[in-house]
Amino acid sequence: MTYSVTLSKKLQKVLRLPHLSDSRKMGCANGKSALTEDDLEFIATHTAVTREEVDAQYESFLRKHPDGQISRKEFSALMRQCYPNADTDKLEKHIFRMYDSNQDGFIDFREFMIVLYIMSSGSPEENLHQIFKVFDINNDGAISMRELKRIVKDLFHLLSPEDNPEQASKSAMASMAFKEMDTNSDGKVTREEFVKAIMGQEKFSSKLALKIVDVFITE
């Protein structure tokens, strides 16, 4: 997943966060963490980042975002700064959802760190679990046909003739991708079905997922 590493590294650079392997050299403000014990425990449990590294990352995060969170507007600016030559306008809200796990309209440090770590160091399957959130618009744990049509609509202008040699319409592409992923034909695509389809390189579903990848590795 080239996209995963690229996006994480660019966001890390824009936010001026220390690289995980170097952050232990920076120390902590006043020798104490500004995060709660619960936050520290959560991040340490869900990543391989040490307490000391978390403190250093948090210091850098606060220098860029003193209130400790990234708003939608700030995220939009970050995306434009990361990818000045990519058309991300229609996808920003979907990518934002990948980070904003509690759906409060902001990305806090804990949310940012979990996704940053997974997308930088996780397996392809773990990466796809995160990308699934882009497709699961209402965050109910499954992708409906309506949601997939929305994603196809927002991605369609990015498809080249090589991506769509059959010249399938938006509706047809969504229908074919949904059929590939919905293996038990119950009218919804679970996270497991999504990952299996992409890992199995199913034709249309893989194209859609990889097109999201392409947006963020375009220079």
Predicted confidence (pLDDT) per residue in 20-30, tens digit: 444 333 333 44
**DSSP reduced 3-state for 211:** helix
- Residue 37: the pLDDT is 78
As given in the structure block, the two tokens for residue 161 are 């003739």
Where in the chain are all domains bearing CATH 1.10.238.10? Answer: 2-121, 124-217
> How far is Cα 10 from Cα 200, in angstroms, rounded to an integer?
28
Say whether 213 sits in a helix, a strand or coil.
helix
Instruction: Please tell me the predicted confidence (pLDDT) of residue 180.
Output: 96
Give the CATH fold of the 124-217 domain.
Answer: Recoverin; domain 1 (1.10.238)
Considering the domain 2-121 in this protein, what is its CATH number? 1.10.238.10
| Structure-model confidence comparison of residues 4 and 138, the more confident one | 138
Using alpha carbons, select from 126, 144, 125 the residue that is nearest to residue 136.
144
Of 133, 151, 150, nearest to 142 (Cα)? 133
Residue 16's nearest CA partner among 73, 75, 58 is 58
Helix (H) or strand (E) holding 214: helix 203-217
Looking at residues 173-177, what average pLDDT do you find? 93
